[in-house]
């Protein structure tokens, strides 16, 4: 919080000097420290991506010895397939609702639980706990809780006079059920990060505005929200990316159904390669999907340039 964003580089101004000057050697030494990380990412993230790009022009099915080159066929087939737009819609629907609900709830919980006291500390512990739990287990527990006949949720709703809901078996509620699990698992984490953000807002802002006669609500909109915006941006971007990549809960809880109502992108990529024997086309989908996430992430940063207040 102590330096301006634009002057991030600490040793800002190396001047023109002979080739093997002190600064360059030092620079090489600095660079070598980043090298292991870069090598790992190149090897295990970027090389596979490039490989997918290559495979996306073939008809490979993972097991046949020869890959036939098919040009842009995989791309045109995907882009003219209704399913692609359906899957895209489902993925965005899931992501948008998930991100908004998690963030809004997370902020509300942060305001609620941001109190220095032992009781609140213990409660925070419990709210954060789902974040530790493996998605595999969270999914299985929710399958059980959401069981239409023996599930505790329907039993509870029954006492309120609500008819049993089919949850994961109904195309109208299945996606919502998945979002429920995701929110349950990550809202505590969002809360913790927002609390971190709230605590970094200097108290004198509030004091000053209190003297001006502003009420709590006014303070929330005019101090808390703007000053939290860097934290919010961080959360929007990271949860956008992870929501777009949702897979495990879908795989275990719905398998993409019923009626494709929860068929998200990664699920489709995976099914295409491993159930429909179309690794080549699935690679084309990987490439398209990567470009989509990248474009939207960049868009978020671009929009945020105007809206995010970096204080100090």
Within 22-81, the residues that bind another protein by CB under 8 A are: 23, 26-31, 33-34, 36-38, 40-41, 43-49, 51-52, 61-65
Q: How far is the CB of 207 from another protein (least distance, A)?
A: 18
Which of 197, 224, 243, 284 contacts another protein by CB under 8 A?
197
Q: How far is the CB of 209 from another protein (least distance, A)?
A: 20
Q: How far is the CB of 121 from another protein (least distance, A)?
A: 8
Measured CA to CA, the distance from residue 51 to residue 62 in angstroms comes to: 13
Restricted to residues 278-297, the positions that interact with another protein (CB under 8 A) are: 278-279, 286, 289-290, 293-294, 297
Q: What angle do CA 161, 163, 165 make, to 5 degrees?
A: 135
Measured CA to CA, the distance from residue 142 to residue 42 in angstroms comes to: 37
Three-class secondary structure of residue 93 per DSSP: helix
Nearer to another protein, 93 or 257 (CB): 257
Residue 256 near residue 264, CB atoms below 8 Å:
yes
Residue 103 near residue 197, CB atoms below 8 Å:
no
Which of 67, 84, 92, 170 contacts another protein by CB under 8 A?
170
Measured CA to CA, the distance from residue 167 to residue 147 in angstroms comes to: 8
Measured CA to CA, the distance from residue 263 to residue 58 in angstroms comes to: 24
Q: Which x/- pattern, by CB under 8 A, does the window 110-149 give for another protein?
A: --xx-x---xxx-xxxxxxxxxxxxxxxx-xxxxxx-xxx
Of 9-17, 87-95, 96-104, 209-217, the window that binds another protein (rule: CB under 8 A) is 9-17
Residue whose C-alpha is closest to residue 243's, from 187, 172, 160, 159: 187
Q: How far is the CB of 64 from another protein (least distance, A)?
A: 4
Strand blocks (E) in 105-238? none
Which residues, in sequence order, are bridge partners of residue 58?
A: 69
* Site for another protein contains 266 (CB under 8 A): yes
What would you report as the CA-atom Rg of the chain, rounded to the nearest whole angstrom?
24
Nearer to another protein, 8 or 160 (CB): 8
Nearer to another protein, 179 or 286 (CB): 286
Restricted to residues 204-243, the positions that interact with another protein (CB under 8 A) are: 230-231, 233-235, 237-238, 241
Restricted to residues 172-191, the positions that interact with another protein (CB under 8 A) are: 184, 187-188
* Site for another protein contains 253 (CB under 8 A): yes
How many residues bind to another protein according to rule CB under 8 A? 124
Nearer to another protein, 93 or 277 (CB): 277
Which pair of structure tokens corresponds to residue 100?
Answer: 């908004």
- Report DSSP letters for 34-86, one per residue: HHHHHHHHIIIIIHHHHHHHHHTTB---SSSS-PPB-TTHHHHHHHT-HHHHH
Query: Which residues have a Cβ under 8 Å from the Cβ of 221 and sit 6 or more positions away?
Result: none
Nearer to another protein, 39 or 100 (CB): 39
Three-class secondary structure of residue 188 per DSSP: helix
Nearer to another protein, 103 or 252 (CB): 252
Which pair of structure tokens corresponds to residue 14?
Answer: 């190396």
Nearer to another protein, 54 or 214 (CB): 54
Which of 10, 71, 161, 213 contacts another protein by CB under 8 A?
10
* Site for another protein contains 101 (CB under 8 A): no
């Amino acid at each position: 919080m102590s330096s301006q964003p634009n002057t991030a580089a600490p040793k800002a101004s190396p001047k023109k000097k002979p080739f093997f000057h002190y600064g360059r050697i030092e620079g090489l030494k600095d660079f070598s420290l980043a090298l292991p990380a870069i090598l790992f990412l190149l090897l295990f993230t970027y090389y596979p991506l490039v490989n997918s790009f290559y495979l996306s022009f073939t008809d490979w099915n993972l097991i046949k010895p020869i890959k036939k080159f098919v040009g842009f066929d995989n791309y045109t087939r995907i882009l003219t397939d209704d399913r692609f737009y359906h899957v895209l819609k489902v993925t965005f629907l899931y992501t948008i609702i998930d991100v908004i609900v998690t963030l809004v709830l997370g902020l509300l919980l942060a305001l609620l639980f941001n109190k220095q006291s032992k009781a609140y500390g213990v409660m925070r512990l419990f709210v954060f706990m789902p974040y530790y739990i493996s998605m595999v287990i969270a999914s299985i527990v929710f399958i059980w809780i959401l069981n239409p006949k023996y599930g505790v949720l329907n039993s509870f709703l029954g006492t309120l006079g609500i008819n049993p809901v089919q949850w994961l078996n109904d195309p109208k509620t299945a996606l919502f059920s998945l979002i429920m699990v995701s929110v349950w698992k990550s809202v505590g984490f969002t809360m913790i990060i927002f609390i971190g953000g709230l605590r970094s807002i200097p108290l004198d802002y509030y004091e000053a505005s209190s003297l001006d006669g502003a009420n709590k609500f006014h303070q929330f909109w005019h101090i808390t929200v703007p000053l939290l915006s860097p934290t919010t941006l961080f959360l929007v971007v990271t949860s956008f990316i992870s929501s777009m990549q949702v897979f495990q809960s879908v795989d275990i809880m719905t398998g993409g159904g019923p009626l494709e109502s929860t068929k998200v992108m990664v699920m489709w990529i995976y099914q295409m390669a491993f159930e429909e024997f179309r690794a080549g086309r699935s690679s084309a989908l990987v490439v398209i999907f990567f470009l989509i996430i990248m474009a939207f992430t960049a868009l978020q940063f671009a929009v945020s340039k105007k809206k995010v207040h970096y204080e100090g």
